[in-house]
Chains A and B, each alone.
Chain A
Amino acid sequence: MDVFKIAYYLPEKILTNEDLAKEFPAWKAYDIEQKTGIYKRHCAAYEEIASDCATKAAKKLFAEYNIDEKSVDFLIFVTQSQDHASPTTACLIQNRLNLKPQIGAFDINLGCTGFVYALSVAKGLLATNDLNNVLILTSETLTKYIHPRDKSARTIFGDAGAAVLVSKNHQIGRFEYGTDGSGSEVMIKRNGAFRFPFTKVRGVDYDDGYGSITNDDFFRMKGQDVFVFAAKTAPKLVKNILLKNEMELEDIDLFIFHQANGFLLEHLRKKIKIPKEKFFVYMREVGNTVSSTIPIAMKEAIRAGRIQKGTKVLIAAFGVGLSWGGTIIEI
């Protein structure tokens, strides 16, 4: 058994709580950290898009673990920020990473739950196609499409790219999935794709009722409703993951949830009754990086010695879609 090989990339530009407090004087830098658990977020440069961050993460992964790029048998890119409407960005990345042409490559268009879903696809590919290595890349550059005056969203989200090499000898459990499209309005970037192209519709600024300004051209979220959704969904999700894998809460060594925001995570931890020492949070330095939060937290948990060979880790994600899912991995 191998420990998962993970690397991640963070863009150079940093937005701290002091920067935010300067822009939005009603907020104090200290309070932002107290409430969200976040101190800084990274913001992709103007020319730097999601596939660039993902490619940089992959190169870091190859270098750090001395991986021959020709050993990659399948590529999955998780993003909602593709290079073009067509072709699939994963095809472009195959070329940019110099991966062999005898591989499959596609994108998974999911947000917060994207890594969990990619992992379940990787598990299936490895089991049924006699492959050795599936490379999962995740990246979003949400800071590009958050309204500059949407202080709530700007406080939470940061950009990143992550790379995880999933291999045949990894132990990945059974998955629990969930979807509720009736909640699509809770988190959405409504305009700019095919239903509402910018040539037809442009967003009009409005106040969300708490002084954050946004419009339909930007990614926006109803923070309170996200909270209610997560508080309702996550406990059942964890329960069902445990049931599917015939385990009890006590059997799990470490819980890694989608790192949505610190306040929400603490609420969920208490609600599900997970002991503090078994609940891993890594948000202070990076914020909510959407599909990269779980890989980044896994990497940091390995680095901190919280994950070793044989550690049973329950991963659970919930977010835009609405979508949720999770599994148990033995690392």
Chain B
Amino acid sequence: MSDSHGEEPLLKYKVIMINIEINDLVKRLEEEFDEIEPGTLKAETSFKDLEEWSSMQALVVIALVDEHYDVPLTGEDLMQCETVQDIYDKIKSK
């Protein structure tokens, strides 16, 4: 594909937008975990491996998603997620 194709700028734009949104989610989540040093959480981080991951921390994530994305993430949804990317995909699929 070359620049003359109409699709590519749109695709590029989409990729940029998704990156912005994921970074936004990463930043918001990072603030909610005491254990994470600022700037170290990545989309591919498995948050379930964190020491402070607990039922209460699950509520924190659900509350955050409800507040900022207005999406009801259920307990079952969260069970299926391992990484921040998974949470992002869940939000997008709702």
A-side interface residues toward B, CB under 8 Å?
26-27, 35-36, 152, 208-212, 222-225, 227-228, 231-232, 263-264, 267, 270-271
Contacts and interface: CB of A to CB of B under 8 A. Distances in A.
B73 to A, nearest CB: 7
B66 interface: yes
A35 B56 contact: yes
Nearest to A263: B59
Give the 10 A-B CB pairs with smallest separation, nearest first: A224-B75, A210-B55, A35-B56, A228-B72, A267-B63, A152-B55, A225-B75, A231-B66, A222-B75, A227-B59
Interface in B52-94: 54-56, 58-60, 62-63, 66-67, 72-76, 78-79
Given A224-B62, A271-B67, A208 B55 contact: yes
Contacts of B67: 267, 270-271
A271 B66 contact: yes
Contacts of A270: 67
Nearest to A35: B56
Contacts of A232: 72
B59 to A, nearest CB: 5
Contacts of B63: 227, 231, 263, 267
A35 B58 CA distance: 12
Contacts of B66: 228, 231, 267, 271
A210 B60 CA distance: 14
A223 B75 contact: yes
Contact of A26 (B54, B76, B79): B54
B28 to A, nearest CB: 14
Interface of B: 54-56, 58-60, 62-63, 66-67, 72-76, 78-79
A231 B54 contact: no
A223 to B, nearest CB: 5
Contacts of A225: 74-76
Nearest to B72: A228
B56 A263 contact: yes
B74 A228 contact: yes
A26 B56 CA distance: 12
Nearest to B54: A210
A224 B54 contact: no
B93 to A, nearest CB: 16
Residue with the highest number of chain A CB atoms closer than 10 Å, among B60, B73, B75: B75
A271 B68 CA distance: 10
A12 to B, nearest CB: 28
Contacts of B59: 223-224, 227, 263-264
A212 B72 contact: no
B56 A224 contact: no
B55 A223 contact: yes
Contacts of A27: 54
A129 B55 CA distance: 48
A263 B66 CA distance: 14
Given A35-B56, A271-B66, 7 more contacts: A210-B58, A212-B55, A223-B75, A224-B75, A227-B63, A231-B63, A271-B67
Contact of A211 (B54, B60, B75, B79): B54
A228 B58 CA distance: 11
Contact of B62 (A35, A152, A210, A228): A228
A127 to B, nearest CB: 38
A263 B63 CA distance: 9
